[in-house]
Amino acid sequence: MNKLVVVGLVVAVVAAVAAVPLFKARAAESSMPTVGQVAPTFTLPSQKGTPISLTQYRGKWVVLYFYPKDMTSGCTIEAHKFQEALPQFEAKNAVILGVSVDTVDSHKKFCTKDGLTFHLLADPDHKVVSAYGSLGGFAGITFANRNTFLIDPQGKIARVWVKVVPADSASEVLAAIP
């Protein structure tokens, strides 16, 4: 076997082994809220730069979905599905809030490009993503894991979906709202 190939394999194995503990440590930093628990409160800026607080939606169902990155294929599919179903969510007294670690400017571009009218919230400091046990990462890149929380009108976690499928998320959440 060529020395260059062996060196390349060794480097790849060392990199893979080193990345695993980093990912596990990040995931262990925060625990995910469970059904029945009061939802962690927050205030984050929307794509318009205006602060959005969970408490302002008391009395409504809140769909709080975390996604990895603006303008990527899975995240775009998921956002479009929520946008398409927005009138049905509104008919059930529900609001949709998407959260990622992207910036307000990135969210603004995503909403403009894809015609999104619900709030996308910027959490570049990872405070809310961490509070909901949804901070992830790989190879030194930090992102929000694709998890969704349904919060009832009293502010408690009603349902939790982890590792959701982007194309199915909106319809599954809509079906769970009475």
- CB burial string 23-61: b at 16+ within 10 A, e below: eeebbeebebbeeeeebbebebbbbeeeebebeebeebb
Paired with 51 in beta bridges are 45
Dihedral of alpha carbons 148, 108, 112, 51, sign: positive
Dihedral of alpha carbons 25, 30, 35, 36, sign: positive
What is the widest separation between alpha-carbon atoms in the chain? 67
Q: From the candidates 39, 52, 54, 75, give the one annotated as an active-site residue.
A: 75
Structure tokens at 154: 């009293």
Indicate if 111 belongs to the active site: no
- d(CA 175, CA 168) in angstroms, rounded, equals 11
Which among 77, 101, 66, 99 is positioned nearest to 166, based on CA atoms?
77
Name the residues annotated as catalytic.
75
